Amino acid sequence: MEIIDKLVAIKGIGNWTAQMLMIFNLGKIDIFPLTDFSLNKHYAIFKKTPLPLSVAQLAKASSQWKPYRSVAAWYLWHYK
């Protein structure tokens, strides 16, 4: 994604930070930060699967929520 490429070119900004900026500052609704530990943990709890899930497993699971993956991420962050 072009925005992420431009942001990670800035020293100190990585993929996760760029994705958070896109979700919370730019209002992008189809971003799912696959390396976010909390999302991984809460998805595993929600689906009752063992931790940790691989990035590939989480990517496959999140594909069902396109084009609203940011919304799904928000709900998973708040899932208890």
> Could you give the residue numbers annotated as active site?
36
Alpha helices in the chain (DSSP H): 2-8, 15-24, 37-47, 55-62, 69-77
Residue 76: closest CA among 44, 29, 51: 44
* Residue corresponding to tokens 């396109």: 66
Angle at 59 between CA 56 and CA 65, to 5 degrees: 160
